[in-house]
Structure 1
Amino acid sequence: MMDDRQGLELERVPSGIAGLDTVLKGGFLKGGVYIIQGVPGAGKTILANQMCFNHVADGGRAAYVTLLAESHSRMLQHLRPMRFFDETVIPDRLYYISAFNTLEDDGLKGLRDLLQREIRKHRASLLILDGLVAAEETATSDREFKKFVHEVQMYAAMNECTVLLLTSGSPGPVRAEHTMVDGLIDLDDRVYEVRTERSLQVRKFRGSGSLRGRHPFRITGDGLVVYPRIEAQFAVPSRPEQPVGARITTGVEALDRIIGGGTFAGTTTVLMGPTGIGKTTIGLHFLSQSSAAEPGLHFGFYETPARLRFKAATLGMDLEGLEAQGALEMIWQAQGENVLDELAHTMLDAIRRRGVRRLFVDGLDGFMESSVHPERMSRFFSTLSNELRGLGVTAVFTWETRDLIGSPIEAPVYGVSSLVENMIVLRYVEVEARTRRLLTIAKLRDSGFDPALQEFRITDKGIEIIGPFNGYEGMLKGYAHSPDNPGSPGTLSPKRPSR
């Protein structure tokens, strides 16, 4: 028997705007009336026009009505460079009309009649009214303005025409018209110290759920691109978490032995250590094992793909050959004013596109530096890790610690040790005025491992683990000394003869 609710579900009108339909869980509702409000320059006009062009490209018809706004010729001149712009649909399927004179001469009643006439005349399934604030200022009373909004809503529902009302303003007290319409969406452009970030929030969406909270977006050559907040979109992973798979090689044979035969497939490992210690080199070893069966992805912030290919080649790894075979992709994100959720979506899209199984992110601090809300990072990284597990990805992240020698090592994000399965700590130690490299397994979930401090070096073949570093104390403080001479870090006393 068919569920009665299926027949009651309202039809969606997709915006066609990347990410926005995800936030709206499918798009606007047919015949609904929505207020889009935001500060000047937030992107309201681009959003509305982008939706119009997408709507007509999908077979619909649209009318764009302006009040106190820029001229149509200037508006179209600004839109022309956008890739969604298609002049051939104007004025047949997308019609622009100014209603300001009608509003001045005949008030809200005249504007209401014009909107009804334009919907009938152009058989519009989407109508934009740009400049709702002018209509509000023309109203002789709050009652008259609420009546106008109510009549627009009734006519939109009767004609199954979705209506967007654009108005200036910033988030603030709830107004009467907010309670009448089917939805309210805020666009904002905020300053965070010396940088700005645009964001979108669905404050109301009658008849459907939506992703809560603020979601960053950019205005690009494609128009608006919305990046749904990772914690909201993947609060429940898109796929159920897969059972932990068999062990897979790290690409360093001696490291595989130390951790019991390799890392478990579908787990997340964090490599922590100071600059130059060898974190990227271990990651390149890991990626060098990519194949058609286990496609790899390098997602980095520091070294360009060209530098990494050269670096790998000097260590005997043919990353360029793996790329040519389609077994490996390298994505570099220059450190600028990146958007945290944009980075995550770029990475996840690449993983889905190629079915990536080996992921190396160099480094986690690149995500940290992109966040305008650092307090998000624990939840963000937890949600992202869960999504990677659901996608069956074995991930390796790097995190650069601050000081080279002698400082205590702290987790990059509060609580990160409980979010990842494996943690490997790399550090320098000073012995007899020389630096040595050490590796230790801080955590390896569901597996035994060798707890000894391991000395390693970087050779022309990459990482070489020499073996346990015995005979010294204070190594975790960065200055190794003999037990016989604890007061002189960095120097060794002759062994005392045994008795």
Structure 2
Amino acid sequence: MHFLSDGVDNGETSLYINLGEPGNYVKETVEHFNLNPDGIHFLDLAPSHEDFDEGEIYSVFSNAEVEQPSFIEKLRSTVEDLEPDRVLLDPITEFRYLTSDDRQFRKQILGFLDFLRGNNATVIFTSQASDSLSDDDLQFLTDTVINLETDIEGSTLYISKFRGSSYQRGIHSYEITDDGVTVFPKLQPGTWDPEQSADAPKILSSGIPEVDELLKGGIDAGTVTFVSGPTGAGKTTTALQFIKEAAGRGEQSVMYSFEESPRTIRQRSRSINLPIQSMLEQGTLSIEEIAPGEYTPNEFTSGLKTAVEDDGVRIVLIDGLQGFKQNLRGYTTDPEEVLLRIVRYLRATGVSTIITNEVSNITGEFRVTEESVSNLADNILYLRYVEMESDLGKVIGVLKMRTGDFERSLRQFEITEYGIRVGDPLKNMQGILTGTPTLKDHRNDDPSGDGE
């Protein structure tokens, strides 16, 4: 119906040939979606209550030879009178009941489609296939096949045939709302637009001198950075520091929060003097809360694509890798494959990506990621709890920078009411990554052997 309505909007003649549901019901449905039904011509050939009137029973339960002539004549005369530019047959599988065998059915369909093409009409037909009744023979006769499927997790669309042209492969999502049908294509890697990022900085600073020293100045723009650590270590706060600095240059950022509400983020930021509220008011930051089951992966990536290409976003923060994998509904592929597509797309468009990743170990065995996703990162900044003089403290360090050098030492890390505070390198301690550091023994470095 979108197809027919679009034709009307462009001054074309559209014809709807109804073989299934009653015509009045179809018109009401079209009106509900504001698809301009007044400009669509309806040829209603669906059975109605009048077909069951006394003396007319034979017309419903008659054989094909009785029904076919008048049926075909109505179709032919309507098409010849209207000369439609666009035609919809809904559903074409009803033609099966007007023929005596499959060969006759195929012959009639092929002849009718040739007749419509001969009148310069573009034709769409719907088919109600099932396990017991295939429509492979109909697909063979067409130039394009669009497959729609639905289950309790959502609706998907894929194209299996498009004669004479290329098309975007893969499984895409769609939904039907009060606005009609909306399609969310599978995300494809983009291309770098030099003009879009010509004025963007090459290096993204955190605004914390000691962190920038760890990173030898900052992270390269257009790369993927993981901020990894256990719960409560300060991953989100650290990630937001880079966004704060970008906002000061007028750059746009978006934060996709999979684990916290925007209200909680604002409150927590206010308590540590991080100006999230002013960034939101100035429009340099938007926070999108992603609730469990709210979006399919394709719906989420479509929104991300809009933010980058239409809103000019230059930094994307995915806050909560575990939440990302759990909250998106209807996965038809591995969640890590979806993340890989997102990362490849953002890299190709020159957008900087920051992903916070929670690890379960608070102390003990050192792990950067719970899953095998660290290969996606260009940079890995990690936070770690340690016991220092019977107090629970934190340290920060850099494990990986694919595009440059970095400081290999660890530094004490603290979040105060004035923001993040980072200390000097902890050069006199060892065993920090075990969670229970000790003072380094310098006697082995002393030539005299007396420890002085």
TM norm. shorter chain > 0.5: yes
Q: Report the CA distance between 1:265 and its aligned residue.
A: 1.4
Q: Which moved more, 1:360-369 or 1:399-408?
A: 399-408
Matched, 1:389 2:347: yes
Label 1:139 to 1:477 Cα distance change in 2 as closer, same or farther (>3 A): farther
Q: How does 1:165-244 map to 2 (within 5 A)?
A: 165-170=125-130, 175-190=136-151, 196-230=153-187, 233-234=188-189, 237-239=190-192
1:358-406 Cα offsets, whole Å, 9 max, x none, are: 2222133333222644853444333322321232212211122234333
Label 1:81 to 1:176 Cα distance change in 2 as closer, same or farther (>3 A): closer
* Percentage of matched positions with identical amino acids: 24
Distance 1:469 1:170 in 2: 68
Q: Which moved more, 1:321-330 or 1:98-107?
A: 98-107
Matched, 1:434 2:394: no
Matched, 1:464 2:421: yes
Task: Determine the structure 2 residue equivalent to 1:65.
Answer: 17
Task: Determine the structure 2 residue equivalent to 1:404.
Answer: 362
**Which of 85, 92, 107 is the equivalent residue of 2:35?**
85
1:37-90 Cα offsets, whole Å, 9 max, x none, are: xxxxxxxxxxxx233223322333322222232x233334445443x434xx42
- For the 8 Å contact 2:318–2:355, the answer to whether it is kept is yes
Distance 1:310 1:166 in 2: 52
Distance 1:174 1:482 in 2: 75
Task: Report SS of the residue matched to 2:324.
Answer: helix
- For the 8 Å contact 1:377–1:413, the answer to whether it is kept is no
Computing the radius of gyration from Cα coordinates, the structure with the larger value is 2
* Structure 1: tracts of 5 or more residues without a match: 1-48, 485-495
Matched, 1:75 2:26: yes
Distance 1:426 1:374 in 2: 33
Matched, 1:498 2:444: no
Q: Report the CA distance between 1:253 and its aligned residue.
A: 2.4
Distance 2:9 2:286 in 1: 33
- For the 8 Å contact 1:302–1:335, the answer to whether it is kept is no
The one-letter code sitting in structure 1 at the alignment partner of 2:348 is G
Task: Determine the structure 1 residue equivalent to 2:218.
Answer: 262
**Which of 248, 263, 266 is the equivalent residue of 1:306?**
263
- For the 8 Å contact 2:153–2:329, the answer to whether it is kept is no
Distance 2:371 2:415 in 1: 28
The alignment yields a C-alpha RMSD, in angstroms, of: 3.0
1:411-451 Cα offsets, whole Å, 9 max, x none, are: 3553x333331111222223455322122211111211111
Task: Determine the structure 1 residue equivalent to 2:40.
Answer: 94
Distance 1:166 1:334 in 2: 35
Q: Report the CA distance between 1:245 and its aligned residue.
A: 5.8
Distance 1:214 1:321 in 2: 40
Distance 1:188 1:141 in 2: 28
1:216-241 Cα offsets, whole Å, 9 max, x none, are: 222222222221112xx33xx24468
- Give the number of equivalent residue pairs: 425
- For the 8 Å contact 2:4–2:40, the answer to whether it is kept is yes
**TM-score normalised according to structure 1 size:** 0.76
Label 1:434 to 1:394 Cα distance change in 2 as closer, same or farther (>3 A): same
Distance 1:123 1:228 in 2: 34
**Which of 119, 123, 129 is the equivalent residue of 1:163?**
123
The one-letter code sitting in structure 1 at the alignment partner of 2:377 is V
**Which of 313, 319, 329 is the equivalent residue of 1:356?**
313
* Structure 2: tracts of 5 or more residues without a match: 52-58, 442-448
Q: Report the CA distance between 1:410 and its aligned residue.
A: 5.2
Q: Report the CA distance between 1:179 and its aligned residue.
A: 0.9
Label 1:410 to 1:261 Cα distance change in 2 as closer, same or farther (>3 A): closer
Q: How does 1:291-302 map to 2 (within 5 A)?
A: 291=248, 293-302=250-259
Distance 1:393 1:382 in 2: 14
- For the 8 Å contact 1:119–1:127, the answer to whether it is kept is no
